[in-house]
Amino acid sequence: MMPAFDVTRARRETRGCEQLIHFNNAGASLPPIPVADALYGYLHEEEMYGGYEVMARRTVDLDNFYTAAARLLNCSPEEIAFSDSATRAWNTAFYAFDFQPGDRILAGSAEYGSNLVALLHQVKRQGVEVIWVADEASGQIDIKALENLIDDRVKLICLTQVPSGDGMINPAALVGKVAKSAGIPYLLDACQALGQLPVDVDQTGCDLLCGTGRKFLRGPRGTGLLYVRKALIEQLEPNQLNHHAAELISTDHYQLRMDAKRFESWERSCAGQLALGVAIDYALDWGLAAISERIMRLSGILRQKLANIDGVTTADQGVEQCGIVTFFAEQLPAEQLQQQLALRHINTSTVPFSANPISSARRRHPPLLRASLHYYNTTQEIERFVTELKQLL
């Protein structure tokens, strides 16, 4: 049995939660004090001493990002690249594949809208075929259907572990087993999973993984990460290179890096990179299992209470569900609810069509309101949220 979660400490170290109820952690969490102070502190040093000079003397602190991310994912630091967002990380990995006309990409219905744009772009530009794998009745990806689609034309399997607009958790490890058995590269979008679920790249079996700093990891905006399995790094050449990703040997020759940094750009927010490393260390200090257990308990309480409100329907699917809670009400549209709750200092978000377009097109549900909880949220906040919601309805 896990020890009691120290929510008092969590809230003491989160300045913003004193003045509002933040149920928009799937958009961007409130950063904890150590992360915010690390970010502000580094920027202040740049202000006082110069960006290049601070970077040179803070090398060890900046490199902590790679070791922290490797601990988070159970991989080697050489398999980690820094990115300015999960979308950039996903695109960098995806566009490194040399797709040919007739190649197939298998993808789950939970893909994020930005991923869909990139997939359609390769359909248009390269003549690839995107096959959408069927869902089970629960809404999660159908593993049998995935297995039945495997043939020698399939060059990549894509999965979003946790949809942006659904509380479902896709069975990433089962997809990994199918991909490994078939010898097909597997790209996992863990944008909404990192920081609220334990994610181990060996257990999931993914070959590539993207994530962001601003969501459940509680890092700053403009930060993200890419994992590329060592065995795959040498096989992938990014479609855009620079003199950080590749060493310039002479005026007519370059040599690609042998680690995941071949997917990076030299210019980035050093303050953001340092702060993301601090955020990952902070999450690991709490323990991902403990974080996940608390988030699941809180979101379960919220779903139960929403189910008892007349006119409210929860929309989350899946055998296993996470801290993202989506619903709609017969009495008021989601956008109006979000605006009215904001006036009461309660942050939520709506779920646009672009969040999970394939899934949304299949389900045809009304616009949804999304309440996404983190470990620093409380049952008292849930009670107030439900009370305000009832009054609005």
Domains of the chain (ranges; CATH) run 7-30+287-392 (3.90.1150.10), 35-285 (3.40.640.10)
Taking residues 70-84, what's their average pLDDT?
Answer: 98
The whole-angstrom separation of Cα 393 and Cα 382 is: 16
Closest CA to 205 of 231, 187, 220: 187
The predicted pLDDT at position 361 comes to: 84
> What is the maximal distance between C-alpha atoms in the chain?
71
pLDDT in tens, 358-371: 888 888 889 999 99
φ and ψ at residue 313, rounded to 5 degrees: -125, 125
Tell me if 280 sits within 8 A of 257, measured CB to CB.
no
pLDDT in tens, 378-392: 999 999 999 999 999
**Percent of the chain that is helix, strand, coil (3-state, to 5):** 45, 20, 40
Q: 104-107 and 129-132 as β-strands: parallel, antiparallel, unpaired? A: parallel
| Verdict on whether the full-model pTM lies above 0.85 | yes
* pLDDT surpassing 90 at residue 139: yes
Angle at 220 between CA 41 and CA 227, to 5 degrees: 115
pLDDT in tens, 246-304: 999 999 999 999 999 999 999 999 999 999 999 999 999 999 999 999 999 999 999 99
The DSSP symbol for 315 reads: -
**What count of Cα atoms within 13 Å lies in the side-chain half-sphere of residue 315?**
23
Six-digit token string for 121: 């772009």
The predicted pLDDT at position 1 comes to: 61
* pLDDT surpassing 80 at residue 2: no
Taking residues 318-331, what's their average pLDDT?
Answer: 97
The DSSP symbol for 367 reads: P
Report residue 66 CA to chain centroid gap.
17
Q: Is 161 helix (H, G, I), strand (E, B) or coil?
A: coil
CB-CB neighbours of 346 under 10 Å: 20
The whole-angstrom separation of Cα 295 and Cα 286 is: 13
pLDDT in tens, 194-243: 999 999 999 999 999 999 999 999 999 999 999 999 999 999 999 999 99
pLDDT cut 90: percent of the chain above it: 95
